[in-house]
Structure 1
Amino acid sequence: MGIFGGQFANVVEWNEHRDDIIFHKWSNNEIKKGSKLILRAGQDAIFMYNGKIEGIFKDEGEYNIETDIIPFLSTLKGFKFGFNSGLRAEVLFVNTKEFTEKWGTKNPVVLAAPQLNLPGGLPIRAFGNYSFKVDDYITLIDKLAGVKTEYRVEDVKLRVSAVVDQLLMKWIATEGKDIFNLQAYSLQISAGIKSDLDMELCKLGFSVTDFNIASVSYPEEVTRMQNKAAAQAMVGDMNKYTNISMADGMSKGGSSLAGDMVGASMGMALGSQMVNSMNNANQGANAGFTNPTLNGQIPKFCPNCGTPTTGTKFCGNCGTKLI
């Protein structure tokens, strides 16, 4: 690059800063005397000359390039603007925020599950989110900014999506001790994926600051089996499970066979209880009764119903006390 140019700029800034853009290269690289650099919150400005980083500026504000910037540049600190001369340099604006994005398996990840006798294995899906940020400006410029004027979050998402399925399968095999309860091992699996993903993205100048698994989903038939097993474990045994299921059917007002059976059983029990209560009441009422006409002798016939007596103190037919 040369020092001289015919087109000059008065302001060096990234005035279309967007949250989905990771870096933006200032397009007009002719800087003239009196130009200013405007640096906004969440931005770093990297001055480059002949492909080499000359200086990095991080504090937001307005800078006079001739007096506030050039004296701090390694190679150009002695540069003097002439009447018709300008500084031909590049300025790269970097978004310093931490980006958080969602991820999800592109295709089902198939796990070995011989106990299920499923063709090909157990297919699962998972999703969650991850966070990353720019970490190494030298690598970023060498791998990306040297050939691109702009780089977006969507570009990183494509790279993550290309490897996350393989990393998920790898770390499930390493940490997923129970493939039917992978959520219990999500922290260990997430930590392994984060480490590998960080190694992948650091090649571009990024670091992965977080990775987590929000949910793991199984095929519908496996989910049904899991729910049934959980319900049986909660109840304790099949008899209790059946009783609870029958009672649940009654509470919903259904006319199922189970509900009818429980209703009939309850009716029979209630009827039996009423009969027993009436008998006990009759016996209780007769227990304190003495027939004054018998003078302590057991009659040959019951004075109440006329049934012949057998020498017992109570009538065998109606239960009347005889003495």
Structure 2
Amino acid sequence: MGIFDFIRNEFVNVIEWVDDSQDTIIWKFPDKGNDIKYGAQLTVRESQVAIFMNEGQIADVFLPGRHELTTANMPILTTLRSWKYGFESPFKVDVYYVNTKQFTNMKWGTANPIIVRDPEFKQVRIRAFGTYTFRVKDAKKFLKEFAGTTPVVRVGDLEEQLRSIVFSKFSDAIAEANVSVLDLARNYTELGEKLGPLLSDDFDQYGLEIVKFYIENTSLPPEVEAFLDKTTQMNMVGDMAKFQQFQAGVSIEKAAENSATAASIVGVNLGGMMAGAVAPGAAAPGAQPAAQPAQSKEDILGLLKQLGDLKAAGILTEEEFAAKKAELLAKL
């Protein structure tokens, strides 16, 4: 090999990037310090953008296709270098490829409960988790924000920063959506479509775009969930007296599962029921059943307290509370 062949091999003739990874966003072509030959072939594949950087300054941007590197195809670089007509010498630039495909299954979540405004509960703390899909929308802006002197930028390098953006904006987005926490589960798809655009401004400053935003799960504090369970039980029963009987039955059932003395408790209750049926002096078969014992003053006061709590929580309206209160006071 002659000396001219050796020199010729030092020039870069072909520039391309075959991405064999799933998470690389920026990749710098490894020119190994060699100059690029005038007329070299640049290949940019679909979902790629190639950017020439001249002494730290962004020059020409190449979209998908095959490009011959001449002054006609490099107008910005030609201006920066003040190349004259007919310039055919090798030149030195940094070539960066930016991956513009969609990056899917990005995780987001609220590390701590956040307080959101709710049209029904006024304020409530919730946790939320999900995924989103993003892509590079403005390759030049993204390169300015994240490249620096790093030859390779992967999804993991900016994942934490993007997650913080989602977390900081999620409560505001929920407030603007004006959807009750009770309706979140059945509105995940619609809500995700609303939240995506609300987050787009923060992603846009980095040259990124949220393509899809998904909410997979939301959860409330245990005490709120317990309160909602009570409300559901009441709505199923529909009557305060029946609700008390229902609670008593649940308590006996739990005691039977968790306590060795439950059998005696159940036995006492059953025994009392049997005694009422066969005790001496009991009414003969066919006679009218004895009247139910009146509720004690303590029971009625307890029910009034429960009614007050339900009204304060917004479950009972003022009219419903007044009617039940009058009914109970009449028994005192």
TM-score (norm 1): 0.59
The answer for the alignment partner of 1:206 in structure 2 is: 208
What is the SS of the residue equivalent to 1:233?
Answer: helix
Shift of 1:108: 1.9
Structure 2 counterparts to residues 117-156 of structure 1, below 5 A: 122-145=124-147, 148-156=150-158
CA contact (8 A) 1:232 1:241 kept: no
Say whether 1:31 aligns with 2:36: yes
Which residue of structure 2 lines up, in the alignment, with residue 92 of structure 1?
A: 96
Q: Given that residues 126 and 216 in structure 1 are in contact (C-alpha distance below 8 angstroms), is that contact kept between their aligned partners in structure 2? A: yes
Offset of residue 21 of structure 1: 1.8
Q: Does 1:13 align with 2:16?
A: yes
What's the CA shift for 1:6?
A: 10
Check conservation: 1:105, 1:127, Cα contact below 8 A. Answer: yes
Instruction: Give how far 1:233 is off.
Output: 2.6
Amino acid at match of 2:113: P
Change (3 A) 1:171 1:194: same
- Separation in 1, partners of 2:184, 2:26: 37
Q: How far 1:186 sits from its partner (Å)?
A: 4.5
User: Would you say the 8 A contact 2:195–2:213 is kept in 1?
Assistant: yes
Q: Tell me the SS of whatever aligns to 1:209.
A: strand
**Match for residue 115 of structure 2 among 88, 110, 114:** 110
Where does residue 57 of structure 1 map in the other structure?
Answer: 63
Relative to 1, partners in 2 of residues 1:40 and 1:173: Cα closer, same or farther, differing over 3 Å? closer
3-state SS, counterpart of residue 165 of structure 1: helix
Give, in angstroms, the shift of residue 103 of structure 1: 0.2
Which residue does the alignment assign to 1:215?
Answer: 217
In structure 2, the residue matched to 1:44 is 49
In structure 2, do the counterparts of structure 1 residues 24 and 266 end up closer, same or farther at CA, with 3 Å as the change threshold?
A: farther
- Residue in structure 1 matched with residue 70 of structure 2 by the alignment: 70
CA distance in 1, matches of 2:207, 2:103: 14
Cα gap change, 1:250 to 1:169, in 2 (>3 Å)? closer
1:128 Cα shift?
A: 0.8
Query: Residue 192 and residue 148 in structure 1: after superposition, are their counterparts in 2 closer, same or farther (change >3 A)?
Result: farther
Tell me, what secondary structure is at the counterpart of 1:204? coil
Match for 1:44: what amino acid? V
**Within 1, Cα distance between the matches of 2:101 and 2:174?**
31
Larger-gyration structure (1/2) = 1
How has the CA–CA distance of structure 1 residues 158 and 72 changed in structure 2, closer, same or farther, with 3 Å as cutoff?
farther
Q: Which has the higher helix share?
A: 2
Query: In percent, how many aligned pairs have the same letter?
Result: 26
Residues 102 and 128 of structure 1 are in contact (CA less than 8 Å); yes or no, is this contact kept in structure 2?
A: yes
Instruction: Indicate which of 196, 199, 203 corresponds to 1:197.
Output: 199
Cα RMSD, aligned residues only: 4.5
- How is 1:160-175 mapped onto 2 (pairs within 5 angstroms)? 160-175=162-177
Pick closer, same or farther for the CA change 1:9–1:18 going to 2, 3 Å. Answer: same
Deviations along 1:205-231, one digit per CA (max 9) or x if unpaired, are 111112122111112222222233324
Consecutive unaligned residues of structure 1, counting only runs of 5 or more, are 277-323
What stretches of structure 2 of length at least 5 have no aligned partner? 1-7, 279-284, 286-332
Paired letter, 1:70: T
Q: Could you tell me which amino acid in structure 2 is paired with residue 138 of structure 1? A: K
Q: Distance in 1 between matches of 2:150 and 2:38?
A: 27
Q: Tell me the amino acid that sits aligned with residue 73 of structure 2.
A: L
